[in-house]
Structure 1
Amino acid sequence: MTDTAEHDDQVTDDAPGARLHERRPAAHRNARRVLSRFCFHRTLRERLAVLEEAADLHDLDELSDVYGDGIVEALESKVAGLLGTEAAAFFPTGTMAQQVALRCWAGRTGNATVALHALSHPEVHERNAFSEVGGLRPVRLTSEPRLPTAAEVRDFAEPFGALMLELPLRDAGYVLPAWEELTEVVEAARERDAVVHFDGARLWESTVHFGRPLEEIASLADSVYVSFYKSLEAFGGAALAGPTELVEEAKTWRHRYGGMVFQQFPTVLSALVGLERQLPRLPEYVAHARVVAAALRDGFAAAGVPWVRVHPEVPHTHDFQVWLPFEPDVLTETAARTAEETGVVLFGGSWDRGGPGLASTEVHVRAEALEWTAEDVKAAAAEFVARLPEQVR
């Protein structure tokens, strides 16, 4: 296996563009300061150490789970309690959980049409799984970078059995509606006799924006899906929460979809750790994301880049978008070079084209970011701008 330090020494400014995808993660691994380190940034040994934290959260002397009993049931009960639902079912993936949930609702409503946003996860990231696997028919309420409005739900031109709302809507910038807007959208769906399902992969961090506890937010929907690895840093896994009858039916379909896994205790233990250790910290991350966002805007302006957009202007969660007036490949190269030369990673993700000469990336604020002051962020922005090619500055 190639030594990481030796490999990085060989990566220079004249490395071909094809190797940029190798430079970026290498620079992140070796950085002394980052805004976030996700689970996939850590070694297997570091990830396994997470399980040691579970010793005071669950009786590790009990027998291991078999096909969803024992510790799996304990996690399901805990999630139902947190969300205020009658029951919950553990699933290996959110894709499976949501397909199953909406398939069950289609059988109950007699309508397989699911109304959703054009940027919602099933439409963008799941290879048409709703229609290809689930026998569902998705219809798009809007493609605007916001959640659907009550008017769009109420006035949609054809019937639908279920309304699916992704909270927050990741591909629009991790955006959330106002609480009043959300309740109006739910009421509009009810007026059409449609059930409401929340894609709550990141619902955990929505409490700050809504100013409501998880239980009150979840109570608006007929069913809710939550993820354990996106914000809680578990090994994987998801849960579907809702009425007991729906959850029991969902478990039947979970088996049919291949989700009745023999043993799942490592993932479940890591989820319990995430609920205990990470969930209470999310409001702190959201608050600091707003500090980071404001400092980024000010830092780029002070460094000579007056047009920079932070979206949302005040982040709704601890994740948000940054838009800059340069080509994606220029920004990707600059981000990699800045990280390599300074040991500081301001932008660790990819840059996507948003139009001619315009690109966006996602900024994620986690525990590591709490060590950054606003001045640290501004200094990092200045270092980034200083490494932009002369011809584009």
Structure 2
Amino acid sequence: MISSPLFYLFTLALLVAVIALFEQKSRLKLFKYVPSFVFIYLLSMLLASIGVFEQNEAIDAIYKNTKQNLLPAMLFLMLLQIDIRDFFKLGKSLLIAYSLSLFSFAFAFIFISLLFDFNKEMASAFGALSGSWMGGVANMVAVGSALNVSQEAFGYALIVDSVNYTIWIIFLLFLTPFAHRFNNFTASHEQMAKLDSIIGCACTIGAKRYWLLILLAIVVALGVNLVASSGFVLLNYTTTTVVLATVLGILGSFTKLKTINGSSEVSKTMLYMLIALIGSKALLENFGGVGFYVFAGFCILVIHALIMVIGAKILKLDLFSIAIASLANIGGVASASMLAATYNKALVGVGVLMAIMGYIVGTFGGLAIGNILIWMTK
């Protein structure tokens, strides 16, 4: 049994490193449908469930402090290389499709919450999930932390996200050959938008760059926690740090800080560590009702799909536009790019832009939906 807080963090870091390395070296197709962060969460939860981690004050304290500082640091770096201006170059039809996707998810979460009569725990779990389905897993972690979602409820949200995402991406890929028929149904014309520039940087960078990014992230984390502890509070302490870190990341993207390459790699590492931390506080025995959560999540997708199809018919949107807008929200950069490539390789950039915009929208949208769902339980 691990009782040392430093050994506790080392074990989780080692778990993250092993899974990430295995994903990179093995190149299994399994990771295309079940993201590596799911395995990180499940294995860290398994270690906690079999009693590997001792429940003591020292471990609880380092868990709280690490999560409290790692979360704003991750959000800041994640947003640092996003250029909002590129998103608005996509064109009218794609912007309408993206807006429709956000609206449909917001409506679906609220409607299903009313239909299933969510209790406070379910409301908070689906509030965190809305952050993911409007942005990405990083947004789900941020929203879940801000809403004080329990480890078990967050685990439910993560499982729902993984299961329904897998079903959804397979369904959207299946629809690709039928794009012409759908476009005839909506009387639309496919959007063949192309990007004039590459988003981010694919270059290999040295260790000095990584250390500079980590230093910046530490400064931001210390800064936002200092502000939150000084008495300036938005809803609660964590919400304050999340919002401030998000705003600083967006502002930083308009400065020369954007030219420091590697922020996505460092922020991804921080995200994986955060997921391992959350998983280490969950227990397998508390996951008996996950099937109900998965079904509710599937119902949200059905309502989302119906609104997207109806909207496409009224607004004359093509299948590519609504499919990529949907998957950019649910899946993120990798899956949105893959789906875009099945239509035309020149459209990959569209998927990238929509997905990275979700990193901004997901946190604020998830916080809004989450608080509405929790308010509805009162």
Name the TM-score, length of structure 2 as normaliser: 0.25
Bigger fraction of residues in helix: 2
Rg larger in structure: 1
Name the TM-score, length of structure 1 as normaliser: 0.24
Bigger fraction of residues in strand: 1
Q: Which has the higher contact order (CA 8 A, sep 6+)?
A: 2
